[in-house]
Amino acid sequence: MGIINVKGTHDIIGGEAENYSYVENVMSQIASFFAFKQVRPPVLEHSELFVRGVGESSDVVRKEMYTFDDKGGRSLTLRPEFTAGIMRLIVQNKLLPISELPLKLYYCGPVFRYERPQLGRYRQFNQFGVESVGHASPYADVEVISLAYTILQSLGLQNVTIKINTLGDEASRDAYRAALKDFFKDKVENMCEDCKMRYQINPLRILDCKVPSDQEIVKDAPKMSAYISEASQKRFSQVLESLKAMDIPYEVDDTLVRGLDYYSETVFEFHYVSNKGNDYGAIGAGGHYDKLVHEIGGPDAPGVGFSFGVERLVSVLCDDGLLEQADLPLDAYVMPLGIESQKNALMVANELRVLGYRVDMCYDDVKLSNMFKRAEKKQAKLAIIIGEEEIKNEAVVLKNMETKEQITVSLEDLGNKVDEILMEKGE
């Protein structure tokens, strides 16, 4: 075989690409209903941004970044997530402070992680997400969760479970870290190399370890809930009460800690099991953060955000039959009789395209019956035939593929006639 795609990447073709656009459009539109504004940060950032922003104890920074030196000797990284880049964008462009907080932004695009590729897990994949920055209100968390929930509802997804937890404020996490250090003190020697490192940098990360023998040890570790400060407990109760009042279902899961270091207070994940019973795990996730903007050189500004994996969303929607994987049908297929008529066929096709119709034409010198077969295959609503005679009379033959009715129409009237036929069908 010749050159193939890079491991962990995937081509998105035809109907599938339309599905991606559809999902991204629904998400963008709903974010804009919630008064979020779009931003497009670059894919490339200085590596230091992610080390400082995402945290050096996270798996993403330690093992999964696509980092390289450019020809000028700068260490650059293909973004492994959006949040740190958005914080940089906010600080550098002085988007804060503003008179009315929070600053609400949404984004969509590819991210890159050097993970082990498997079903639904890629090295280049797309994320859509939002950040609401600058207000500590618990209701900013609720607004962001309700935005994510509205997106899932609008896409038609029924079996969503929202898992939610609080990591508490800094004091709560310091107390919990100390308790974990104490608990793992005489156990860490027998744990994996990663856990030995996590023990030193951030023992909270040990709770995410996937090694089965380590998971056995983790089971008996102290629980976060016992170390949450009163203020954080109160804040979390406000979040939960508000979700309840808005009929947004949730499950409190006190094992949820999330893999990125910047989270504090509320963290959440959206899990999905398809109607056929396939468990997709987390299709999206997010949480509140306190220090991130400051970490990147900006003012003290808390924030909350989430991101969805677009690949995962498209997969669950297909699984539940909520997306068609076929290419969109044509409004018209233009069929030139002989190579000499192709130039005119192209002009006719373009005239209708400009009017907003989806039109294709035949480039092969094949029999009319063959062209009709092609028109049927493309589910064309109209076939437009153009030969020597029609060119001479400045007309075309228009065939309604459904009723089989066939008429000759002057080029001048073509647009109106197509409008008439397709409008009648409610197109």
What gap in Å lies between CA 138 and CA 136, rounded to an integer? 6
Nearest alpha-carbon partner for 239 in 250, 254, 226: 250
Q: Least distance from C-beta 24 to ligand AMP, angstroms? A: 14
What gap in Å lies between CA 324 and CA 143, rounded to an integer? 31
- Write phi, then psi, for 99 (nearest 5 degrees): -65, -35
Residues 228-267 as x/- pattern, contact with ligand AMP by CB under 6 A? -------------------------------x--------
Q: Of 284 and 336, which CB lies nearer to ligand AMP in the complex structure?
A: 284
Rg of the Cα atoms in the chain: 28
Q: Which residue has the tokens 């992610």?
A: 50
Which residues on neighbouring strands pair with residue 382, listed in sequence order?
332, 400
Q: Least distance from C-beta 64 to ligand AMP, angstroms? A: 8
Is there binding between residue 166 and ligand AMP (CB under 6 A)?
no
The separation between CA 323 and the C-alpha centre of its own chain, rounded to angstroms, equals 16
- Specify whether the CB–CB gap between 362 and 334 falls below 8 A: yes
Q: Of these, 41, 102, 168, 284, which contacts ligand AMP (CB under 6 A)?
A: 284
Q: Least distance from C-beta 20 to ligand AMP, angstroms? A: 13
H or E element that contains 334? strand 332-336
Count of C-beta atoms within a 10 Å radius of residue 297: 11
- Write phi, then psi, for 280 (nearest 5 degrees): -90, 0
Residues 5-34 as x/- pattern, contact with ligand AMP by CB under 6 A? ------------------------------
Q: Of 8 and 415, which CB lies nearer to ligand AMP in the complex structure?
A: 8
Q: Is 25 helix (H, G, I), strand (E, B) or coil?
A: helix
Q: Least distance from C-beta 118 to ligand AMP, angstroms? A: 9
Task: Write b or e for each residue in 352-364: b if 16 or more Cβ atoms lie within 10 A of its Cβ, otherwise e.
Answer: beeeebebbbbee
Q: Least distance from C-beta 281 to ligand AMP, angstroms? A: 8
Nearest alpha-carbon partner for 138 in 307, 266, 290: 266
Q: Least distance from C-beta 125 to ligand AMP, angstroms? A: 4
Q: Of 111 and 386, which CB lies nearer to ligand AMP in the complex structure?
A: 111
Residues 121-160 as x/- pattern, contact with ligand AMP by CB under 6 A? xx--x-x---------------------------------
Strands (E), 59-144: 66-69, 75-78, 103-112, 124-133
Q: Of 113 and 235, which CB lies nearer to ligand AMP in the complex structure?
A: 113
Question: Between the CA of residue 234 and those of 35, 241, 266, 412, what are the distances in Å?
Answer: 27, 10, 12, 71
Residues numbered 307 to 326 that lie near ligand AMP (CB under 6 A) are 307, 309, 311-312
Residue 393 DSSP symbol:
T
What gap in Å lies between CA 232 and CA 238, rounded to an integer? 10
Q: Of these, 39, 101, 207, 282, which contacts ligand AMP (CB under 6 A)?
A: 282
Q: Of these, 45, 59, 81, 214, which contacts ligand AMP (CB under 6 A)?
A: 81
Q: Of 78 and 396, which CB lies nearer to ligand AMP in the complex structure?
A: 78
8: tokens are 């962990």
Q: Least distance from C-beta 97 to ligand AMP, angstroms? A: 27
Is there binding between residue 285 and ligand AMP (CB under 6 A)?
yes
Q: Of 125 and 289, which CB lies nearer to ligand AMP in the complex structure?
A: 125
Task: Single out the segment in contact with ligand AMP by CB under 6 A; choices: 118-126, 179-187, 206-214, 408-416.
Answer: 118-126
Q: Least distance from C-beta 407 to ligand AMP, angstroms? A: 51
Q: Least distance from C-beta 391 to ligand AMP, angstroms? A: 53
How many residues of this chain bind ligand AMP (CB under 6 A)? 16
What gap in Å lies between CA 223 and CA 183, rounded to an integer? 11
Ranked by CB distance to ligand AMP, the top (closest) residue is 309
**Which stretches of the chain bind ligand AMP, using CB under 6 A?**
81, 113, 115, 121-122, 125, 127, 259, 282-285, 307, 309, 311-312
